[in-house]
Amino acid sequence: MEEILTETIATEAKRTHRRAQRSKIVRLTVFYVAGVVMALVFLFPLIYMLATSGKSEITLAAEAGSVSMFLPDFSSMSTMFDNYKKVIVSYGIWKNALNSLTYAAVVIVLNIIVNGLAGYVMAKFDFPGKGLLSFLILFLIIVPVETSIIPLYSIVTVLLQLKGTASVLAVILPAAISVFNIFLFIQFFESIPKEYEEAARLDGAGNLRIFFSMILPLSKPIVATVATFCFIGVWNDYVWPLMVLPYAGEGEWSLYPIQAVLTSIKTIRGVTTGEVMASLVIASVPIFIVYVVAQKYIVQGFGSAGLKM
Amino acid sequence: MWGSVLLILACFVALFVAFSVKDVVAMKKRGGKYRIKTTMAAYGMLAPAIVLAFIFVMLPIIYSLGYSFTDFYLLKPNDIHFCMLDNFKDIFREIGAKGDMYHAIVNTAIFVVCVVPLQIGLALGLALFVNRKLRAVGIFKVCFFAPVVISLTITAYLWMQILSPSQYGLLNSFLGLFGAEPQDFLNNQKTAMLWIVLMSAWQGCGYQMLIFLSGLTNIRKELYEAASLDGATAWDQFLHITCPGLRSTFLFIVITVFVGACRVMVQPMVLTGYQTHTMTLSYYMYVQGYTYRWVGYSSAVALLMTIVIGSITLIQRRVLREKD
């Protein structure tokens, strides 16, 4: 009697367990199917871009309206990279990518030094006029900067006369200062204990020495966040460089960053859709690499930015 | 122009000296003392930031304010006259005559009203969707966020291909399968703005998703456990735990999305170019100031924009904060 009872209980338990397992599998399947569908909604233009970048105009016309528009054309493996070759060799887009990389590198270094130093002073020093500066920092974060793009343009061209090669400075210098980054640095530096700094001072280290060889290495997360934001900002900027940089003409070494040149590639006579797509892919690859590598810092940056209202 | 720069610089320095003296006096009253060496070092290290911020952040804001009362024409930088409120009169005349300024206001309003709820709703949905500990959730996050890191020039071009009026355009070729005629989505006065709204929300919502996610992780897990022990449904939990927990995040997102939406410029610029039915305020300001070089008039538009956006932001902050 007792044996039978324990047996029924065991089978019953097994059945409920199996049922729970089954409903869990159903729920997981629904979740992943929904996730894939949504991911496709967000990715389809990018998939289309990648697929099209390997195709000739004839293939594209033949494929119109079919799903193969979203798939790479494996039947013509040999010509798959022709568009890339054309864009890189004939249109010289690598020079503009190099320009963008150079601007980004200089801006990142300047931005971290200039705003980092300011943040360090505001967080750790006591001096007359500090109250006014703190107020100015908060005030300038709130005032929208985009509306002053035209006066900024007049300052750069009329006041500073940045023309020709010097106009590179007009791209770099305004990007080197960011009041918001100063704010981020202050927040982070304030959390570094005073004892570290005092110990370094006893060892005879100067202010700059303390900043570069102690404060900055201790602040890797915020430095990485600022660097990532700078890179994305400079690499993706397009209106401002088009306004201030001179147009060098086709085939000449232009100062344009890659985003600015994308808009003119479209207008070259005889350019094919595949070639434009190839240049777009080239322009998105670096930003993707940076994004995937620095992903967790971007999230941290948003996290710290998201709680300050 | 140098004269005015020196004048502003003098005012700035005077303000600085005044506040510094005030600080020194206050410090003396408390019996303390600033150390000259520390002060010198501080200003030495602040100098690059102060110089750059003065030239590239402060001056443009002050100039924008000042230019809006002048007839500054960029090709005649040495021939500037004060014209008091003429620019503002012109703006209101333009609005009254239903010119481009009128359309810019209407289109910007349509854009803001549509994109703010759509983008925030999408972002919240996505954040709730990926806020669980399962495999591959990280990949979904990367996918949803991908359009954010891709530049607007690129996404706009891709959407132009999708919405292209030719029969080979992506959307048209699929509609063609059902026998529909090719349509010119972006030149259609009724649908163009809606496509711009869709594209912006599609591109932007990944950013707010991440901010929502950082807000969601701050809500204590025990609250949900306690609620499900009491038999609360998922919807009850969302309404009474998630929503209150996200309030400050929500406030931040509403304000940033709203301000961003008010400034929409690049999307219509790259999708349709200068056209009445997709003209927005920022784009109008840019065209007047840069293409036509009427900096004075353009600055007046910018000043009005800043005042309106700023006051609406303040009201939003009040309203959303009061609920706490």
Would you write out chain A's pLDDT as a tens digit for each of its 309 residues? Answer: 566 767 777 777 788 888 888 888 898 899 999 999 999 999 988 998 888 888 887 777 777 667 777 777 777 777 778 888 888 888 888 888 999 999 999 999 999 999 999 999 999 998 999 999 998 888 787 676 666 788 888 888 888 888 778 889 999 999 999 988 898 888 888 888 888 888 888 988 889 999 999 999 988 888 888 898 899 889 988 888 888 888 766 555 688 898 888 877 877 777 888 888 899 999 999 988 888 888 777 666 555 544 443
- Whether A117 has its CB under 8 Å from any CB of chain B: the answer is yes
What's the token pair of residue B136? 């591959």
- B77 lies in some domain: no
Same-domain pairing of B208 and B289: yes
The token pair at A292 is: 């995937």
Residue A306: its pLDDT value, please?
A: 41
Decide if A155 and B60 are in contact by the 8 Å CB cutoff. yes
Q: 3-state DSSP helix/strand/coil percent for chain A, to nearest 5? A: 80, 0, 20
A132 and A72 co-located in one domain? no
Same domain, A73 and A96: no
Residue B112: inside a domain: yes
Residue A129: its chain B contacts at CB < 8 A? 16, 19-20, 23
Domain end marker among A43, A67, A84:
A84
Q: Which chain A residues in 46-85 lie under 8 Å from chain B, judged by CB atoms?
A: 46, 48-49, 52, 60-61, 64-65, 69
Residue from the list B49, B145, B149 with its beta carbon closest to the beta carbon of A114: B49
Specify whether A150 is located in the same domain as A34.
no
CA nearest B143 in A: which residue? A39
Of A39, A176, A303, the CB nearest to B140: A39
- B29 burial via Cβ count (<10 Å: 0-12, 13-18, 19+): exposed
Nearest CA in chain B to A42: B144
Q: Which domain holds residue A73?
A: 2-84
**How far is it between the farthest Cα atoms of chain B?**
86
Span B164-185, average pLDDT:
78
Query: Looking at residues B184-211, what average pLDDT do you find?
Result: 87
In a domain, B76, yes or no: no
Domain tally for chain B? Answer: 2
Q: Are B189 and B196 in contact (CB under 8 A)?
A: no
Asked if the Cβ–Cβ distance from B154 to A61 is below 8 Å, we say no
- Does one domain contain both A68 and A124? no
Same domain, A111 and A76: no
Q: Are B46 and A121 in contact (CB < 8 Å)?
A: yes
Within 10 angstroms of residue B218's Cβ, the number of other Cβ atoms is 14
The answer to whether the CB atoms of A39 and B143 lie below 8 A apart is: yes
Q: Is residue A215 domain-shared with residue A303, that is, in the same domain?
A: yes
B150 and A46 within 8 Å at the Cβ level: the answer is: yes
Q: Which of A52, A84, A116 corresponds to the end of one domain?
A: A84
Same domain, A77 and A169: no
**Do A30 and A97 belong to one domain?**
no
What does the alpha-carbon distance between residue B196 and residue B273 come to, in Å, rounded to a whole number? 12
Compare CB distances from A147 to B126, B290, B302 and report the shortest one's residue: B302
Residues facing residue B70 across a β-bridge: B82
Looking at the structure, tell me whether residues B229 and B114 fall in a common domain: yes
For residue B161, the chain A residues in CB contact (below 8 A) are: 45, 48, 52, 273
At B102, the pLDDT band (50, 70, 90 cuts) reads: very high
Is residue B47, in this structure, part of any structural domain at all? yes
Residues 6+ apart with CB under 8 A from A198: none
Indicate whether A225 and A284 sit together in one domain.
yes
pLDDT of residue A104: 95
Sign, CA dihedral B187-B188-B193-B194, equals negative
The beta-carbon neighbor of A43 closest among B143, B263, B310 is B143
Question: Does residue A49 contact residue A280 with C-beta atoms inside 8 Å?
Answer: yes
Let me know whether B152 and B280 are in one domain. yes
pLDDT-derived band at B245, boundaries 50, 70, 90:
confident
Residues A211-253: tens digit of each pLDDT: 999 999 988 888 888 898 899 889 988 888 888 888 766 555 6
Question: Residue B132: which region, alpha, beta or left (left: phi > 0; alpha: psi -120 to 50)?
Answer: beta
Based on the fold, state whether residues A120 and A234 are members of the same structural domain: yes
Residue A47's CB is within 10 A of a number of other CB atoms, namely: 14
- Same domain flag for A76 and A175: no
Q: Domain of residue B56: give its range.
A: 2-67
> What global pTM score does this model have?
0.80
Q: Are residues A204 and A224 in contact, defined by beta-carbon separation less than 8 angstroms? A: no
pLDDT digits (tens, 9 = 90+) for B137-173: 888 888 898 888 888 888 888 888 888 887 777 788 7
Instruction: Check if the beta carbon of residue A171 is closer than 8 Å to that of residue A244.
Output: yes
pLDDT tens profile B269-315: 888 888 888 899 889 988 988 888 888 888 888 888 888 888 888 88
pLDDT at A145: 61
Least CB–CB distance from B140: residue in A35, A128, A306: A35
Same domain, B183 and B46: no
Q: Identify the pLDDT of residue B9.
A: 92
Q: A111 and A230: one domain?
A: yes
When mean pLDDT is compared across A246-250, B55-59, B68-72, B307-311, the lowest value belongs to A246-250
* Residue B119 contacts A, CB cutoff 8 Å: no
Tell me how many domains chain A contains: 2
Q: B13, B35, B67: which is the final residue of a domain?
A: B67
Chain B contact set for A32 (CB, 8 A) = 136
Q: d(Cα B147, Cα A46) in Å, to the nearest integer?
A: 8
Confidence (pLDDT) at A33: 92
Closest CA to B125 of B109, B146, B140: B140
